[in-house]
Every structure is written in structure tokens, then in C-alpha cells.
Amino acid sequence: MDASNNAVDKDLQIKRNRRAVIWVVVLALIVDQATKILVKTNMLIGNDNAINILPWFKICFIENNGMAFGMEIGGKLFLSLFRIAAIGLIVYLINRLVKSNRFPRGFLVCLAFLVAGATGNILDSMFYGLIFTESGIHAGGVSKLVDFGYGYAPFLYGKVVDMLYFPLWRWPDFIPFIGGRIFFRPVFNIADCCITCSVFSLLLFYRQSLSAAFAMIETESVRRKIKKDKSEENNSGI
């Protein structure tokens, strides 16, 4: 009877963890895409058109071809394919961790935010070039929705929309090279926030869970290899 109850409790816990992961990804993606579309279809691109919310916070619409915070590493196609591969790997990892029922829900939620952030930015690259006109080059300067496939760029070559800018403070003028510059200059988006908060949370609070997760995946890989080798030996013996 106890074994049966434990099995039921385990299945219930797995379902709850899976729902938590799904809800985090879905809600984060909705917020990310809603803010990007709202900004892209209502604001002019560029620093001169920023909306001042607070002295240290502005809504500033820019676009970039790169990764988080506007960094550019490698070509656009490489970045898009890299994101897709990374998302697939993390989704596979989360699925294995949820099924194992050995990891805290907070750890799984952090990984879910990582998936949401990476997916949010890859959606820009995949579809924005297909469904929007390019910002700032036509009458009015604001991007418009167009029929699918008639946008400014082909599949996987769309630009990522950023809008959150926090010019917290400037370096003192007497400091060489950086004097007078903004301390934190990147403009970013909700997806970038999800990725950054997830990574910091994993490193600060879930390092042991992260190590255990990689150890579990590595152990499973070794077991599959051993099983495959034994199967090949048996087949060769026949």
C-alpha cells in the first residue's frame, strides 16, 4: 500500500513540476513577445526617440543581430542555429530532470526561464523578418505588419528587438578612457532578463543541483553506451 501511495505521489509531483515548467515558459514568452511587438510597432528606432520613465530607466528601441545585450559573435545564421541547438539541449535536459523527480522545483524553474529567454530571442530571428517591415526606412518610420514572407529579411535572419535601458550612472570624467561614459550601456529585453536571472540564480543557489544534473545525464550516456556495446557484441557473436 505504501509503495502504491509513493508511486502516486511521485507521479503527482512530476506532473506539478512539468506544469510549472510549461507555465513559466509560456508566460515569459507572452510577456517578452508582447513588449517587443508593442515597441516595434509603436516606436521610432534609435536613442534619440527613447521614452524617459525615470532618470535611470528609459524605453529605447534598438535592434541587433547578436546574442544577449546586443553582443555579436559569429554570423547571423550561426547565432540562430546555435540558439536552436541550445534550446533543444536544455529542453531535453529539463525533461530528463523532471522525470527523475530528484531535483527541486526552483532549479527546474530556473532552467525554464533559460529556455524561455533563448526561445524569445530566436523567435525574433525566425519570424520578425518575415512579418514586419524594416524599422525606420519607410513613411512614418514605424515598423508595420505585412503578409507572411514579405518582410525585411528571410527566415532566421530577423533582428532581435531590445528596449530596456538603465543608464544608472556615469564614470567620473577624470578616469582615463571611460570617463564620462555610462556605466552599463547595453539595451536589452525581457528574454535577456530571463537568461541573466536564470544563470545567476543557478550559480548562486543551485550549483549542487546543476552538478548533479550533469552527472545524471553523463551516467545515463555511459549506460546507453555500455548497452549499445553489449548489443553489438551479441549481434556479432550471432
Catalytic residue numbers?
162, 192
Measured distance CA(161)–CA(34) in Å, rounded? 11
C-alpha cell at 144: 508595420
Edge-to-edge strand ranges of the sheet holding 51-54: 51-54, 57-64, 160-165, 187-188
Measured distance CA(114)–CA(48) in Å, rounded? 32
Cβ–Cβ under 8 Å, residues 135 and 41: no
For cell 548533479, what's the residue? 212
Strands (E), the chain: 51-54, 57-64, 160-165, 187-188
For cell 533563448, what's the residue? 118
Q: Using H for helix, E for strand and C for coil, what is the string for 68-128? A: HHHCCCCCHHHHHHHHHHHHHHHHHHHHHHHHHCCCCHHHHHHHHHHHHHHHHHHHHHHHH
